[in-house]
Structure 1
Amino acid sequence: MENALVDQPAASHSESVVRRPQTASRSSAWKLDVRWLAMICLLLGVSGAVRYWREFQFASILTREKESPFPLKDIPKILGDWRMIEGAEATLDPEIARIAGSSDHIVRNYENQRTGETATVLVLYGLAELVWGHTPEVCYPATGGKAVSVPRTVMIAGANESAPPIPFRAGVFSRIEGGMNVFHDVYYSFRNAGTWDPSMGGRWKLFRYNPGMFKVQVQRTIKSSEPPDEACNDLLSALAAEIDSKARTGNGTEVAAR
């Protein structure tokens, strides 16, 4: 009995010694968990704040570039040898303009004072995500026309000798008008963040940073589907030069491509 009484305190003391480290270990683990939790919460908070700030920036850029940096009516009525035909200025149907993503546009007929050649000019500005997909290859078939030539890339001279050439896509389309098959030679290109390109699909990731886009489309009536000459290349060059100049000095909102 005495041995039993003597041994019991020793066992109790041993258990006490063992339990103390376990209690301390649990306390340390709990403190560690709290620190990790606090760190994760902090990181999530910072990440959310950054994301909110970026979305705010994108929304600000979108609001700023929704409207053209200059009124498109300010494009000159005289472009080199080309002069706008008086009374030959029109506007798109409101529903067509909406579908095309237009916040501003002009439709004019110009005549070359030397050759008598005429061409219809469409210049449109709107949000890139709405504008870039409206190409003649899509729009002509949708309105009863069809392509009758393989699309070709035409490099148009820049504003001066040091300026890079500007790419336009061209093609011949036919449409029944007044009971007759009429051929149109059509040129187009888009301008986004200072860059001209008739194929803007590959740039869609940049549209959040540069949401505004110009579209230039020039068409003229020709006699057949044969590859046409370069009769309106100088008109395209003058148009692109005017848009470049006015976009850079308009309201100061143009953002460099990223």
Structure 2
Amino acid sequence: MTETTSSPRTRSRRFGKRTRGVTICVAAILLSGILHGYLDGRWVDKPNLQRIGAQLAELPSKCGDWELADEGELDERAAEMLQCHGSLVREYWNPASGQRVNVAVLFGPRGPIAVHVPEICYSSRGTEPAGPTTVLTLKTDDQLDQLWRVEFQREGSEEPHLEVCYGWSDGGRWQAAKYPRVWLTDQLYKVQVAGPPGTDGQPSPVQDFLKSFLPALNHQISQNT
């Protein structure tokens, strides 16, 4: 019986292939970790970003016909999940009409801020979209801002009871973006406003509020860019 042994050159080729394979795997793991950390804002100047985020509290308590009614905070679970550097959670009301809207402005790492949308969040609370998500265009100051708009209805109901508008900004105009997670920016702002939908041909409280609120928000953000 003859024993076959590989030549030194063959063994060297096999070793080289294994080494390249291991190197590629290690590089892929490292690159994945770096990319994930970049998207989640793990390696950023957090004290400076937290200072910028804290300035959201300077937004005015009165915007057009709308006045501040209540102010809150993100709940602990949401704050941990979104990793916000700053946030604003308020309720405004219009004394003339009695209408109320809830607004949240978030500032934080692109990854967490980009992926949470109301179609998912509200659908877990016994509601469902009452129709397709559409784009709302608003002219504010010298720019055109665009937000996603969606109405929700309670399960078993045929009439919407809630309108939500939301979008993202990297410091410029607001956009109804499909994939903000891939934007070439480290940090994102997100605005979300919820309130009753317009009825009987009356203007939507949410859209009426946004016409007054977005200029103030845009001005505040411009101070930090």
TM-score, reference length from structure 1: 0.61
- The residue identity in structure 2 corresponding to 1:246 is Q
Matching residue within 163, 167, 180 for 1:185: 163
Structure 2: how far apart are the matches of 1:198 and 1:143? 24
Q: Does 1:248 align with 2:222?
A: yes
- After superposition, give the CA deviation of every residue in 1:163-199 in whole Å (9 maximum; x if it has no partner): 12210111111347xxxx9721111111114131122
User: Would you say the 8 A contact 2:171–2:221 is kept in 1?
Assistant: no
User: Would you say the 8 A contact 1:68–1:212 is kept in 2?
Assistant: no
Matching residue within 107, 120, 128 for 2:102: 120
Matching residue within 217, 220, 229 for 2:195: 220
- The residue identity in structure 1 corresponding to 2:106 is L
Runs of 4+ in 1 over 4 A off after TM superposition: 58-61
Q: CA deviation at 1:111?
A: 0.9
Structure 2: how far apart are the matches of 1:138 and 1:169? 14
Q: CA deviation at 1:202?
A: 5.4
Structure 2: how far apart are the matches of 1:244 and 1:122? 14
Alignment of 1:100-249 (within 5 A): 100-159=82-141, 163-175=142-154, 183-201=161-179, 204-206=182-184, 210-222=185-197, 229-249=203-223
Q: Once superposed, what is the RMSD of the aligned Cα atoms?
A: 3.0
Structure 2: how far apart are the matches of 1:102 and 1:203? 15
TM-score, reference length from structure 2: 0.69
- The residue identity in structure 2 corresponding to 1:194 is G
Secondary structure of 1:195's match? coil
Counterpart in 1 of 2:24? none
Higher-Rg structure is 1
Identity %: 21
Counterpart in 2 of 1:93? 75
Structure 2: how far apart are the matches of 1:80 and 1:153? 24
Q: Does 1:67 align with 2:46?
A: no
Q: CA deviation at 1:114?
A: 2.7
- Report the number of matched residues: 182
Q: CA deviation at 1:230?
A: 3.1
| CA distance 1:247–1:214, change in 2 (3 Å) | same
Q: Which runs of 5+ in 2 are unaligned?
A: 1-34
